[in-house]
Amino acid sequence: MCDNHLDPVVETRRKARKAYVCDECGLQIPVGAFYIYTSGIDESGPCSFKQHEECHALLTMHALDDDGCWLYGTLREFAGEEAALGPITLGLAAVERKYGAVVSP
């Protein structure tokens, strides 16, 4: 069982009506772009995440911990732990080319 799982998990594909910041890569989700909105309840209460479609795909394909759990917001950490040309690193590089520089918090 996942320590930080969301229950229930609700994922919807939305079109940005204003600019957001992707909770995975830290880059802007521009107005008009489609993104994945994930919401649920974890041990600390209700929570939600906004992700580029590409970051969500990378997370679901590659960013699993040892228990097979998704760890929202840790995609860059996984990229740093993998080989320099691993799939997450290459995927994040493509997202950066498409969306630009990391947005400061």
CB atoms within 10 A of CB 41: 13
Question: Which of these, 29, 17, 81, lies nearest to 55 by C-alpha position?
Answer: 29
Phi, psi of 20, rounded to the nearest 5 degrees: -125, 175
How much is the pLDDT for 105? Answer: 44
Domains by residue range for the chain, with CATH: 10-99 (3.30.1740)
Q: Over its length of 105 residues, how does the chain's per-residue pLDDT go in tens digits? A: 455 566 667 889 999 999 999 988 888 999 999 999 998 887 788 989 899 998 888 877 765 555 656 667 767 666 666 554 466 677 777 778 787 765 544
Q: What pTM value is reported for the model? A: 0.71
Residue type, 82: E
